[in-house]
Structure 1
Amino acid sequence: MARRTRADMEQTRATLLETARLVFSERGYADTSMDDLTAQANLTRGALYHHFGDKKGLLAAVVAQIDSEMDARLQALSDAHCDPWLGFTSRCRAYLEMAREPEIQRIVLRDARAVLGTPSPQAQMHCVQSLKQLLEQLMALGLVIQVDPQALASMISGGLTETAFWIAEGDKANDRLPQALIAMERLLNGIRL
């Protein structure tokens, strides 16, 4: 039996992730069987077990991949603005708008929460650190009240996360987003000098 190369292993992992994203997005986690998923990927259950442990481990890896992509999109958005305040508020707004994107809504905001629980501590920490850095810059520029940036970043991140979950619940995302954006704007204006 020929030994698989590192490149083969990485390709197998990537294929499983890509297939899982597609299938979880279309059917949802609960309605996706491991047999259907591996058959669609043209791989074995053994490959899934080897790379992810089980279906739940595969979901966690898919969520981590999507979280990373979301963070890159948000960072690019805040970096693109010349006005730091607009960059910050645009980032917060975009995060809530992502709650309407079908893949994010189904996989990250519904299935992951139901199966994996709250967002992973690592993902939460990364989000809070990003917000903390932005808030420190805004404080240094005299645009935001002086308060512990870690506490403020944690509060804003938690509020945005819970609001995104609220937007994604049921079929009312389009109705809930405008309400959430008004509330977010009022909240953020409360920290602005």
Structure 2
Amino acid sequence: MAVSRRRLITAAALAPVLGACDQAAAPLSFKAVDITGADYAQDLDLPDTEGKRRHISEFKGKLTVVFFGFTQCPDVCPTTMLELAQVKQALGADGAKVQGVFVSIDPERDTPEVLKAYVQNFSPDFIALRGTPEETKAMAKRFKVFYAKVPGKTEGGYTLDHTAGSYIFDAQGKVRLFTRYGAGAEALKHDLQILLKQTA
């Protein structure tokens, strides 16, 4: 009986330790698609509205959210940017650790002036990037972003079909998540909070 009792005590004492190990090994419950370690979406190399070339490495210490879109987009693009701005605000002081980056897929119409006004309408610290048509195509390919012109109702007019989602980079500049359009602000906030805790 004495031996059995000692075994029971030992097992009871180890239970919290084993439980803690199990918790530490549990996978992170992101709402977005976890693409940690992906061999695409590694970096940006495009000029901003002032002509300065920008890279993900510039934003180390912050979470960077990259979205490819165009200013004349009627719904997906403004909704995505608005949700990101709302989440930044909802995060309070931590919102300053979130950098929004809008990459134009329509350099033909999205002039630097138009882009700057567009992104700053959502948040004064959001930045917009605009390359040549060739640079834009190459960068979209690097991020596995699809886009294509769709003829409009007026002659010469057009809209664009494009990948509707954002890439999220952690504070070390590594791509971590792809969040699909329609997931909502709460899901985005949830995932950013997890990454912010990792940063802390």
TM-score normalised by L of structure 1 = 0.23
Please tell me whether Structure 1 or Structure 2 has the larger radius of gyration of its CA atoms: 2
Name the structure where strand makes up a greater proportion of residues. Answer: 2
